[in-house]
Structure 1
Amino acid sequence: MARGAILVSKVAVAMVFYCLVVTTPRAVEGVLTCEQVISDLAPCATYLINGGTVSTDCCSGVKSLNSAATTTDDRQAVCKCTEQTATTLPGMNLDNIRSLPSKCGLDIAFDINLNTDCSKVNI
């Protein structure tokens, strides 16, 4: 996989999971960095672009990010990171992004939307 495709995949994963983190409160100190978000979601890149089977590593990263984003600041940081990254990298499949939470056993009670206003993301 080319370096650009890997980066695109990481961004796509980050977008999906920003939505996951927006609704599930947890407890952690500090604000998550964009590097942390991308790192947790990187294993999901192939699924987000091509579909198919979601890997165990992908779901572990999704669940880890969901657990780490414990404050409003964390959730807004995840949102901003994913939006910034996603707008610069093509190739993501919105249907794959929307299906990822349930494929990883998470019940998300909202529609994943790439146009979310990050400043309105709360715990």
Structure 2
Amino acid sequence: MSKYIQAIGIWFLIIPLAIINGGLRENILIKLGDIALLLSGIILSICIFVVAYLLIPKIKNCKQTDYFIFGIIWFILTNLFDLFMYISEGGGIKDLLGSYNFLTGNLWILVVITTFISPIVVSKIKKRKGEIKNV
């Protein structure tokens, strides 16, 4: 199976975590007030990194550029998924771009950056530990 298809498959495993995180934010964290968005962004970012840490090394025969491409793919898919969610709720690209404003307490930008860099950072950590070898 193509390593890029595997990376996309791993990204799809993040979706249920994002949905659960959204439910946690809307049903529990919201009671904490303005800090809810902040905590939700941090929690989701940690979940994304953990998934990458556990599963990205399972993709074999990767060059360092492959991990960079995985990050780009994850970045694009994450933004397309979020845009689709806004559109399904009657919003659009303006809403997606608004979610990048961290001054509102929304850490979506942290989530997107984490999505992009996680495969790259994981590859460097695992390579240093001798757990993966680049081709």
Task: Please give the TM-score of this superposition, normalised by the length of structure 2.
Answer: 0.27
Q: Name the structure where helix makes up a greater proportion of residues.
A: 2
Larger Rg: 2
Q: Relative CO higher for 1 or 2, CA cutoff 8 Å, sep ≥ 6?
A: 1
